[in-house]
Structures are given as C-alpha cells and as structure tokens.
Amino acid sequence: MPKYNKLVRDRIPEIIEANGKSFQSRTLEEQEYIHSLRAKLQEEMTEYLATENNHESLTELADLLEVVHALAHTHNGTMEELELIRQHKKKERGAFQNRVFLMDVDE
C-alpha cells in the first residue's frame, strides 16, 4: 500500500472508495492543517514549475488557487478580501504586466 501522508482534496476518499480501494485518513487539527496547506502550496508550485504547456500550467495554477482559497480562510480572510488587497497593491505598486526587471539602484 503506497504511503502518501499529505493533505488531499475533500472528495479524494470518495473517489478512492468508488474505485474499490481502501484507505486510511484522519482529520487534521488546525495547526497541522495550516502546516499541511503550506506544504501543499510548495507541492503545487513545484508541479507548476515543471509544466511544459499552457494547459498543464493553467491546471496547476488552478490547484495553487484552491490552496490559496483554503489558506485565506485559515487566516480569517476571504477571497474577496484578498482580491481587495491585491487591487490596492496593484494601484500603489503596479502589477507585473510591463515585464520590468530591476537590475540595480544607485544609492
């Protein structure tokens, strides 16, 4: 039996059972959940960085976004609140659309 020891999406146990397989799982306490979400964020980022085409990239970005949704909730926030913060930072500091690559600053 393969060992996973990682956070999975909510319907994965249902999918495993539908395939006639058995499994063991448990519900994480709050701090282990946050720790596992952070690990999942790294896992999904690594998968995104390994993509080789637009479809794969968008699929992995969707997974990253799902983890961001969950993390926002653990910080007592919402995606709407996160979006407002993003918009504020974009207004104050800009986005990344102009492809500006800062090389150095004279002090």
- What is the model's pLDDT at position 18? 97
Structure-token match 């910080």, residue found: 75
Ramachandran angles phi, psi of 41, nearest 5° = -60, -45
**Within-domain flag for 86:** no
Rg (CA), the chain: 18
**Within-domain flag for 64:** yes
**Within-domain flag for 5:** no
**Within-domain flag for 71:** yes
Number of domains in the chain: 1
- What is the model's pLDDT at position 44? 97
Q: Which residues contact 17 (CB under 8 A, 6 or more apart)?
A: 23
- The two structure tokens encoding residue 86: 């993003």
Quote the CA–CA distance of 49 and 2 in Å, as a whole number. 25
Quote the CA–CA distance of 13 and 67 in Å, as a whole number. 18
Query: Residue 72 belongs to what domain range?
Result: 28-78
User: Which pLDDT tens digits describe the chain residue by residue (107 residues)?
Assistant: 789 999 999 999 999 999 999 999 999 999 999 999 999 999 999 999 999 999 999 999 999 999 999 999 999 999 999 999 999 999 999 999 999 999 999 99
The predicted model scores a pTM of 0.89
Amino acid at 68: V
- What is the model's pLDDT at position 55? 98
- What is the model's pLDDT at position 2? 86
